[in-house]
A = this chain, B = another copy of it.
């Protein structure tokens, strides 16, 4: 039987473009996907940049205008890795062009955009997905199974930290991720959106929040970065940082659980610490992306005397996705979360069903992001409502 092909057009080729490209490239090596990803075309504004990227990463062609991708008949799926402020226009146009869509997170700049995007893909009947890659870590996926089986009992608590430290130098310039017009928010949409997604996935829907946002360094040198992430500008011209450096919120869930969430780019020494703990009536779990293959699990059902958090290497055949890779105890890394996600995306396209998380999740995530932002301004609790 011939396997369907999914011809992909990807917009953006930097960090996320690289992660997505790699996933499409490696998917058939590890898995037997239900549809075959074809790296058809990549789009970017800078001709030299996009051409180099296409060659390097294995795309068959390139465009300098993303609209061309939508016009092409040989493209089935649009992968949106452009800055956040372009998501809405691209996604709606892609839906109207009948393309399936994978969109980077956060889905949009605000709730209104997110709602329009969700409505557009539903109306068009295309397959849609949002790229919350951490759902596809085997340890996380397995944690979800344990929770669904009731191993943790009723959930009382979730606490999450997502800490980075790459913009703590006051000389670090005002890159696009620090400008509201480009990204909508700072740490909030970049890091906190991931924690919200994991909380929604593992605990349930949030009903109410009280948030706090902080910008520690309010003026920064103007100018994008030329080279790597850590290069610095010497510009004398300063601009205002209008997004959050750090964000925190407390939450109540519909099922009675409570949550405490924190994300920052000012967590010195934490290059990329994404961790959480969940406590239920019968057990608890802990996870830290720095040891992403491991899940810590406490079960009350263990006999007294030998109760304790056990560290499980989620690399065995019984753990989700793990059979595709290496023997037990041989760890996988960051990029594999995208391969696993691509596997689900291809399955979704093959069946004409939007995998989870999709634009519904993106929209609901945006509702929480918005409520937190509003709460931080209003300085009081805000309910999540559609």
Contacts and interface: CB of A to CB of B under 8 A. Distances in A.
Interface string A230-269: 1000000000000000101110100010101010101111
Contact of A334 (B25, B56, B280, B326): B326
A307 B269 contact: yes
B250 A212 contact: yes
Contacts of A214: 258
Interface in A295-320: 297-300, 302, 304-313, 315-319
A354 interface: no
- Among A22, A273, A309, the one with the most B-chain Cβ atoms within 10 Å of its Cβ is A309
A331 interface: yes
Interface stretch (A40-48, A79-87, A156-164, A171-179): A156-164
A107 to B, nearest CB: 22
Nearest to A142: B305
A236 to B, nearest CB: 22
B331 A290 contact: yes
Interface size class of chain A, counting residues whose CB lies under 8 Å from the partner chain: 35 or more
A351 interface: no
Contacts of A249: 250
- Among A152, A157, A159, A230, the one with the most B-chain Cβ atoms within 10 Å of its Cβ is A157
Interface string A361-386: 00000000000000000011100000
Contact of A157 (B264, B293, B328): B264
A210 B311 contact: no
B298 A306 contact: no
A189 interface: no
Nearest to A292: B331
